[in-house]
Amino acid sequence: MGLSAHAIVADAVSDRLDTAGAAQEACALLKEKVGGSPDVVLAFFSPHHRAAAATVLETIQRELTPDSICGSSMAGVIGGGREYQVGPGIALWAARLPGARLQSYCLELDDAESRITGWPDVPQSASSVMLVEPFSFPLEPFFESLRKLPDLPTVLGGIASGADRAGENVLLYDQTLVHHGAVGFALDGGYRFETVLAQGCRPVGPAFTVTRSEGNVVYELGGRPAYAELSEVLIAIGEKERNLFMRAPHVGIHPLHNQSGESPADTLIRGVMGVDPEAGAIAVSDTISEGECLQFQSRDRGYAHLQMESSLKLAGSFEPNVLGALMFNCTARGVHLFQRADHDIALLHELWPQLPVAGCFAAGEIGPVCGLPYIHGLSASIGLLVPTAEK
């Protein structure tokens, strides 16, 4: 009998404003579906509940008694078939996975030795879900070091959102409230997360090779001034597309390195911060290395819809037995991109009706490109929980 016949996954959400009542309601709904003592509970809660995060944690511990708890404050939450992007919300996701090896972890920056402690020793077959406090944790340098490892697990997750300064975000780690670092869990032993990355931008113009750059400033594309290449692209695409690009200019970057050695199909979406016509330069919201491939991008809801739909259908064709899902959406998606609520969760449920799904609107989405972890923007990073072995 397959593992999936015994696995139980469930989600629950409450939009009550009072934290105690919301946490109690969400836990009661979850307990009806999954019972007590699940292997893991993930919790996402809006800024309305941040000050009372201890109540959220205590209620989960008391009502569900899970083996592991991970959670984070977020600008918005996803659960119960809805996306709560503005109002109060607590979304819970729980799983009981017989035979699974599940290890929760808490990562901290050791300033004295300039290193990260707490990363679990897990095999490449494992999946890791990570929630990150952005003001205290150097995520990109950490990922850069991870990308050098030979046996790296699949990593997905999100960066805490909804806070303006250090100390405001709250993470949940088993019995503890955490205000810095990162928390998460690693899963192995018969189950894994099949990742799906859905972009929110459409490529504009041709792709270029970065031939001169410094930090986050690109000076030359294909041996010509970057600003001149951008100007030619904007002239060529016409007024309608030009106006769309100018409202929210972005670039897509193809990473240089990956585990397979192939050119990655997925891009890292980054914002255009400014241009300098005199220097012929373009500044973007990330470090750009010479030799990387860059393509201009514009936000496009139609393209975002088709890209997500096709990516999910492709994943489903390979993994029809999906037990549940986690969804980490950019805060710029939802009503900001699609002009209506619940777009992404509704599309997921069109393909898998009644699938237990929970997630959040994050300040950055974590997902693999060719097996290596990266930070994404304007995207949805989705983890489909699937069985990998038979009993």
Looking at 244, 266, 298, the residue that finishes a domain is 298
For residues 294 and 327, membership in a common domain is answered with no
Looking at 298, 317, 352, the residue that finishes a domain is 298
Does the pLDDT value for residue 256 go beyond 70?
no
pLDDT of residue 114: 82
pLDDT in tens, 134-165: 999 999 999 999 999 988 999 999 999 999 99
pLDDT of residue 263: 44
pLDDT in tens, 39-92: 999 999 999 999 999 999 999 999 999 999 999 999 999 999 999 999 999 999
Distance CA 264, CA 253 (A): 10
C-alpha of 252 from chain center: 17
pLDDT of residue 266: 74
Judged on CB neighbours under 10 Å (0-12, 13-18, 19+), 147 is middle
pLDDT confidence bin for 10, thresholds 50/70/90: very high
Does the pLDDT value for residue 294 go beyond 60?
yes
Does the pLDDT value for residue 4 go beyond 80?
no
What is the 3 state secondary structure string of 98-146? CCCEEEEEEEEEECCCCEEECCCCCCCCCEEEEEECCCCCCHHHHHHHH
Q: Which domain holds residue 291?
A: 202-298
For residues 250 and 349, membership in a common domain is answered with no
Which whole number is the average pLDDT over 314-343?
A: 95
Which whole number is the average pLDDT over 25-48?
A: 97
Does the pLDDT value for residue 246 go beyond 70?
yes
For residues 236 and 354, membership in a common domain is answered with no
For residues 240 and 361, membership in a common domain is answered with no
pLDDT of residue 389: 61
For residues 20 and 163, membership in a common domain is answered with yes
Strand order in the sheet with 191-198: 82-84, 76-79, 357-362, 324-330, 380-387, 191-198
Distance CA 234, CA 231 (A): 5
pLDDT of residue 258: 47
Note the pTM of the prediction, 2 decimals.
0.93
Distance CA 267, CA 257 (A): 12
Looking at 298, 325, 350, the residue that finishes a domain is 298
Angle at 265 between CA 276 and CA 331, to 5 degrees: 65
Cβ atoms of residues 143 and 373 within 8 Å: yes
Question: What domain count does the chain have?
Answer: 2
